[in-house]
Amino acid sequence: MNDLKAENKPKKWEFWIDVGGTFTDCIARSPENDFIPFKTLSSGITKGRVQKISNPTTIVDSSRCDAPAEFWQEYQIEFLNEEGQSLHSAQVTNFDSVNGILNFEPTLPATVKESTSYELSSGEEAPILAIRWILGLKKTDTIPHISVKLGTTRGTNALLTRNGARTAFITTRGFADVLLIGNQDRPRLFDLVIQKPEPLFETTVEIDERITAEGTVLCAPDPKTILQQLQTLKSTGVESLAICLLHSFANPKHEELVARIAEEVGFDEISVSSRLSPLIKIVSRGDTTVMDAYLNPILKDYISKLRTPLKNCDLKLMTSAGGLVDATHFVGKDSILSGPAGGVIGYSCVAEQAGFPKSIGFDMGGTSTDVSRFDGEYEREFETQKAGVRIVAPMLSIETVAAGGGSICGFDGIKLHVGPASAGANPGPACYGRGGPLTVTDLNLYLGKIIPGQFPFALDRTAVEQRLTQLCQEIASSPMGKTYTPHELAEGFLQIANANMVRAIRNISVARGYDPADYVLVSFGGAGSQHACAIARALGIRELLIHPYSGILSAFGIGQADVRRFGQQSVLKPWSAELQQELGIRFQELDQKVKEEVRTEGVPDERIEEPQHSLEMRYLGTDATIQILCVAGQDEPACFEQEHQRLYGYKHEGRAVEVTALRTEVVGRMEEPNLPASQVISRVPDPLKTVETHFQGKTHKTGVYLRDELCPGDQIAGPAIICEAISTVIIDPGFEAEILSRGETLIHETIKNSAAHETISTEADPVMLEIFNNLFASIAEQMGITLQKTSISTNVKERLDFSCAVFSANGDLVVNAPHIPVHLGAMSETVKRIIADNPNLATGDVYVTNDPYRGGSHLPDVTVITPVHDPNSKKLLFFTASRAHHAEIGGIVPGSMPPFSKTLADEGILIRNFKLVDRGISREEDLRSLLLTGEYPSRSVDDNLADISAQVAANNCGVTLLNDLVLRYSIPVVQAYMQHIQRAATEKMQLALAQIEDGLYSFTDHLDHGAPLSVQITIKGTSAVVDFTGTGPVLETNLNANRAIVNAAVLYVFRCLIQEDIPLNSGVLAPIKIILPECFLNPPERETPAKCAAMVGGNVETSQRTVDTLLGALNKAAASQGTMNNLTFGDEKFGYYETICGGSGATAEGVGADAVHTHMTNTRLTDAEIIERRYPVRLHEFSIRKNSGGAGRHPGGNGIIRRIEFLKPLKISLISERRGDYAPFGLEGGTPGQIGENLLQKANETNEQSLGGKFSLSVEAGDLLTIKTPGGGGFGTQA
């Protein structure tokens, strides 16, 4: 569409450029209003192939004829062999663009022949190549005064490849390891070799200083000492400093001092956390600061390379927040979504211009797909995680899924899969002819949805057919025995790929309370338009929009972007009239500062809009915040409660509302290049040609159209193919396209959504197996999102101590969103006991239980179970269930985690088979009465009921989604695939067991007080018997477990043996028989709680030791820390509970990880600054316990040291293991990890007293508790 002209003329050339990982897209806008697109490799290299060698200094390549006259003169030309190695380097001396003749010196060697590949480069960056090309400038020509707006993935790539600057982290003494520990959770639940994100900093300097949570100086730093520390650091060659001191958000004085001294020492790159992100949470703020320091030198070097040839030009860069900043202000923390942000601006602009105020962006590239949503306002995140780094900075909310044109398609013996692995650019898809794997691009080619003649090079369809045929044969000869034709298999893979992308779009729409049917789908990226109709149909979206520049829409969006600057401050105060006045003053001051920043970008005052204010608000004492836009005359707390009601389904009447932060955004409007509307003349154009394509098992005659030959008003009925310069648009059967006045293609559905009901067989099909796997997993995920949103509990919202699951009618686990391993599989026992105890389950019934003798884990873990019936026949079909840890359920100590409980009655209120909802009628008041009964009632009944209501809401979410699934596929099909998925998991487990040599594997470990925990595992073929005979008798302590906990431990261990992602369901345990005699792992059920064995510690401690023992028997992993280190403290007004990480055990494959939660838990730890702000404690140290891991060929991971000072009298208790004679064992010659220690130093005393593994005591102000957690065992003899 080179003939597009804007209505308003620019004063000079404008270049809008998106620098991606592989390609750089450019749109130039001339002073005559022409729009000129250009695409080149981001390396700045132009590739070619020798067609003819005229003489030793001259070659001919007709593909060079498109270049401007004399363009390649002075460029380097590199000739390469087939392996990409250099054969000869030369400099181009003359270029004839008419004939494609390149002259060069020195002369060619004999190794360079016709068809040899070559590369042309100037040493300049790709954007400069694009600008010179469009302007027709040679390398030696000066670039005139132009405007350049640019987005780049340079920062993102450096972050992903860990190729940034040498960086040091400067922090408060005692917290050198705070970023290495992070939130203490592990990234992948079932990986025994835990891979934590690689840190960005190479060294740490601790400053002897301390500021309180309120900003008061406790210990002032010594400038002389800091000077010496930084001088020593400078001598090591460190380039960048990241300064992040504890509580600097409340008082930046000490950070500014360190920064001034660093400047004196000669550091050029200094990132200061209180300048970048003056908000609470040292881990997130510290990560952000380190990332900024790590990337800034890389970005400055890149910008410098652009600035040299653009010295007389305006250069602005795109930030992750969707705004432009001058190149001198572009910093690392704002660079991560620089390119993708342009896509969001682009699709939202073109949608609004076409009359669609609500739009969903669908950007499908080669390796991944980005999806996002626009509602008239850009949806932003202010804290997120990218590439393992927590980032606190405004950025557009973009969801990425590993599904793109290069996603690899395969068969794992049971089901098909698409991605997440990608073929990349080399070797690329199979059709590239370089031996690559089968990919999504190959499927589209094979099904006729890519026109080979429109591709820039020849495609090999035969290679695709060979791979599809081979896979068809593999599937037919597998246990599945399913017969496919290559076309059927290709369509099946596409169904899976589309389902993955649909799931991502649901996450940014349905999961956030928005119906995708209310939006237009804007497709862009190189591959998106081939899938858009299928994606829209699955989501119920009726209209799709594709812009003429869809293949380079991110570059187009960068050209539409405005200058945007943000300011933010921490508040952390309850709402009051006084605070309202204070906020007004603070907003005024912040507005002036941010407006001035916009002025420095060259924006005149008349183009600077009024600042937009917003507040981060939450209920006092909770963690999740909601952003509320401030409008004159508005009651912000009321607006917060309305939004809370909309998002979470409830509001807390009478509960104080807290403001955590204030933000202001100032926009400097840039001149918009509005494209004029052309006259629309309705017609039906003739296709260029007709080809065969395949849709839903049928072959269709499909018209092919060239985009450049279509005019506004043209109407094209599907199936059809529109070939664009950079992408291909597929119009599926049942859709019709219309060319709009600005050249956009609007596609709408003409036949009623056939996805509303699909007829498929109940027989197992590898395609549908993967699709149903995703569908069921998505339901459990949506339930979890609902629970996390609607809960009031920190345990649920922040620590993520919950699980959600779907079950078959007989109580078998179908899918369990993997949150907390100790819950895995355990809820199936709970559901089966509910079935047994209630033979007449009715529609509208809901049950609550925490009974450890009926499938529960321990009393604080409360499970809500909802049966799902056929609305017509009333037949029981499924169950949904959710389990969440309640911070208080009664018992002899606040927090319901008593270290010395003797019976179940000591641990809280037993909820046994309680019907919360009876045929739709709530019995909440009866539950309230139950929670208030007994000798030790719950101390927080309202919170209990609120969280149980959240669990009911999560279950109802699952019920709705299951009913939708039944409506779409039918009851028999859904139930059949519940069975198929369980059988698939069984087969995967059998394959894993078959890899273990037949025999008897045994191991015995001991609890701290000496009770033996014994297991004998008999492997025979594809089955296993796990026998706990020999385990000690029922204990008088609370370390007793139960069958549900043991089942969860066995399920976890054997799931860890499967080296791939599989559905987590009852099928995993089907080949495994568990023999569990009466012992402390299986105490007998008694009539009353007072007669039942205590087991609050069994869930958190014995479960860990059970896993260690099982892995020890199988010789798979040395012992991890073997405890969760359950700490509680509080008084009559509050209670706090945390579990604390330690070292993981080493394996034959790798070392143990430091400071991480292992095995049966994966809960997060509350940030140090939040703990100190919210509770009367002060952390003195949170560090990795060096050398606490066992030695070996692969050493065990280290534990941590956590030192807590109590600032007022409190009750504290701890339940922990591995504090006695039984250290975390090593294997194969590896030595044990160190045992843990719990020490108390009384105020004004110097001696520490050992507290043992379990204690409950009172502390006074100034008392200091030190917890040293165990390390993991080593594996193998140390060399």
Per-position DSSP letters for 111-128, written without gaps between them: T--TT-EEEEE-SS-HHH
Q: What is the pLDDT of residue 599?
A: 93
Q: What are phi and psi of 831, to 5 degrees?
A: -60, -40
Pairwise pLDDT comparison (762 vs 1267), residue with the higher score = 1267
Q: What is the pLDDT of residues 958-985, one digit of tens each?
A: 999 999 899 989 999 999 999 999 998 9
Q: What is the pLDDT of residue 177?
A: 98
- Two tokens at 344? 């969001």
Q: What is the pLDDT of residue 6?
A: 46
Angle between helices 971-994 and 941-969 (to 10 degrees): 100
Contact 1106, 1007 (CB under 8 A): no
DSSP-derived secondary structure for 965-999: HHHHH-HHHHHHHHHHHHHHHHHHHHHHHHTSPSE
3-state secondary structure of 584: helix
3-state secondary structure of 536: helix
Cis, bond preceding 420 (omega within 30 deg of 0):
yes
Residue ranges per domain, the chain? 14-156, 170-303, 339-561+740-756, 565-668, 766-985, 1117-1279
CATH class of 14-156: mainly beta
**Is 899's pLDDT higher than 50?**
yes
Contact 765, 476 (CB under 8 A): no
Q: What is the pLDDT of residue 752?
A: 67
Distances (CA, A) of 146 to 14, 556, 916: 6, 17, 70
Q: What's the burial of 850, exposed, middle or buried (CB within 10 Å: 0-12/13-18/19+)?
A: buried
Q: What is the pLDDT of residue 1253?
A: 96
Q: Stretch 1211-1219: mean pLDDT, rounded?
A: 96
Q: Stretch 19-24: mean pLDDT, rounded?
A: 85
Contact 420, 385 (CB under 8 A): no
Pairwise pLDDT comparison (511 vs 928), residue with the higher score = 928
**Percent of the chain scoring above 90 in pLDDT:** 73
Maximum mean pLDDT: which of 285-289, 601-605, 1043-1047, 1160-1164:
285-289
**Is 272's pLDDT higher than 90?**
yes
Q: What is the pLDDT of residues 1081-1095, one digit of tens each?
A: 999 999 899 999 999
Q: What is the pLDDT of residue 218?
A: 97
363 CB neighbour count, 10 Å cutoff: 27
Q: What is the pLDDT of residues 173-220, one digit of tens each?
A: 999 999 999 999 999 989 999 999 999 999 999 999 999 999 999 999
Pairwise pLDDT comparison (796 vs 128), residue with the higher score = 128
**Is 818's pLDDT higher than 70?**
no
Average pLDDT over all residues of the chain: 92
**Percent of the chain scoring above 70 in pLDDT:** 97
3-state secondary structure of 392: coil
Q: What is the pLDDT of residue 3?
A: 42
- Two tokens at 868? 């799902």
179: DSSP letter: H
Nearest partner of 1158 among 1204, 1116, 1199, 1097, judged by Cα: 1199
Angle between helices 826-837 and 1043-1056 (to 10 degrees): 140
- Two tokens at 789? 């949103």
Q: What is the pLDDT of residues 539-573, one digit of tens each?
A: 889 999 999 888 899 999 999 999 999 999 999 99
Q: What is the pLDDT of residue 757?
A: 58
Q: Stretch 64-81: mean pLDDT, rounded?
A: 94
Q: What is the pTM of this model?
A: 0.90
Q: What is the pLDDT of residue 2?
A: 41
Q: Stretch 680-689: mean pLDDT, rounded?
A: 92
Nearest partner of 976 among 1219, 666, 1257, 761, judged by Cα: 761
Residue appearing with tokens 């958190």: 1100
Q: What is the pLDDT of residue 388?
A: 84
CA-to-CA distance for 877 and 971, rounded, in angstroms? 8
**Is 1's pLDDT higher than 60?**
no
Q: What is the pLDDT of residue 609?
A: 93
**Is 754's pLDDT higher than 60?**
no
Q: What is the pLDDT of residue 4?
A: 45
**Is 785's pLDDT higher than 90?**
no
Distance from the first to the final alpha carbon of the chain? 67
CATH 3.30.420 fits 339-561+740-756, yes or no: yes
Contact 243, 255 (CB under 8 A): yes
Confidence at 354, pLDDT banded by 50, 70, 90: very high
